[in-house]
Amino acid sequence: MSPKSITIFLCGDVMIGRGIDQILPHPCDPILYEGYARSALDYVTLAEYINGPISRPAPVPYIWGAALDELARFRPQLRIINLETSVTRSPRHWPKGINYRASPENAACLSALGVDCCALANNHVLDWGRAGLIETLETLDRLRIKASGAGRNQSDAWGPAVFEIEGTAARVLIFSCAIATSGPPDSWAATNQDPGIAFLPDTSRASSTLLIEHIAKHRRAGDIIILSLHWGPNWGYDIPARDRDFAHRLIDEADVSILHGHSSHHPKGLEIYNRRLIINGCGDFLNDYEGISGYEEFHGELSLMYFVQLDVDSRLLGRVTMTPLKMRRFQLVRPRPDEAQWLCDTLDRESRKLGAAVTLTPDERLELSLFA
């Protein structure tokens, strides 16, 4: 029997580099080139000072903590993350101030999460140069994890990751690109000769037209289209009108079912447009920021798992459930009830501006609906 719907897991920025890489069994050289830290171990020390000791080396699945139970509960057919880390032992860093990398051996943690696809168009995947990007792609290929948004040339970078839906003729196509507002330099754009990312300078009509044309080259009737988009600043809830117009046009003209937005370090408001989902900012899913001061009002330590149900035939949105988590000692744990309530209240406030509502269920998960 053909499935009538599929469930897709999405999350925001996954940073398995720097401090997190150091607690796993096979860390890179901890050297950093930051103005305020010269060793990735400094981030481990800071996290331990705030929340207590971290047993090292931690087992590879350790960092995912409570997320593994949620994935076992929802059993999504696809698991998609934004991998905001270069997976490499390359010693040549890009001189940009902050550089994330994890060792190819520690990338086994992605398999422990069951990741199917990594969106790579972001402002950290080339932190250790083009050689680091090539090693990232090779490592993901070895782990049998598909990638989109970066490649060995322009064609690779702009091409989608393609997944067949068992029991149907339909496919899921995952495209990924980065907008300049999220921080990647234009020199990171892939060319016909050079590895790089799928890069757009802005969310203008010209940029949306280019992206619509790229999608049209690969799409066929019945395909479910997911666009993973790294855009906007790290902090703040504002959704510019031009970005909403950009998202709406991608839905109207490229038949995008889910716009998977990320870059913000905290979740932002969600929108349901023509029964398609716009996640403007997923927030960070995992990072090594524990103990770093600033922007406390956004509660960047709180994460969300997004479980999105889509109808296979119509490609329209079904149920959207979000599970709140919290980063503590470089591991994802369930938050306190008051933290889950704060996250619900904040997302509801911001989503209502976009015509949607968020409610907290008795089991402390969040549900998205249209705001009537």
- Could you report the per-residue pLDDT of 315-367, keeping only the tens digit for each? 999 999 999 999 999 999 999 999 999 999 999 999 999 999 999 999 999 99
pLDDT tens per residue, range 264-311: 999 999 999 999 999 999 999 999 999 898 899 999 999 999 999 999
- Report which DSSP code applies to 28: P
| Backbone region of residue 261 per phi and psi (left: phi > 0; alpha: psi in -120 to 50; beta: other values) | beta
* Whether the predicted pLDDT of 1 surpasses 60: no
| 80 half-sphere exposure, CB direction, 13 A CA radius | 33
Q: Is the dihedral of CA 139, 18, 112, 286 positive or negative?
A: negative
Name the burial class of residue 131, with classes exposed (0-12), middle (13-18) and buried (19+) by CB atoms within 10 angstroms of its CB: middle
Q: Is the dihedral of CA 305, 311, 314, 319 positive or negative?
A: negative
Token couple for 121: 């168009």
Q: Name residue 261's beta-bridge partners.
A: 229
Using CA atoms, how far residue 80 sits from 42, 99, 113, 145, in Å, is 30, 23, 10, 10
Q: How far is CA 119 from the centre of its chain?
A: 7
* Whether the predicted pLDDT of 51 surpasses 50: yes
pTM for the model: 0.97
- Closest alpha carbon to 21 in 49, 53, 62: 62
| 325 half-sphere exposure, CB direction, 13 A CA radius | 30
Cα–Cα dist 8/280, whole Å:
17
Above pLDDT 70, what percent of the chain?
Answer: 99
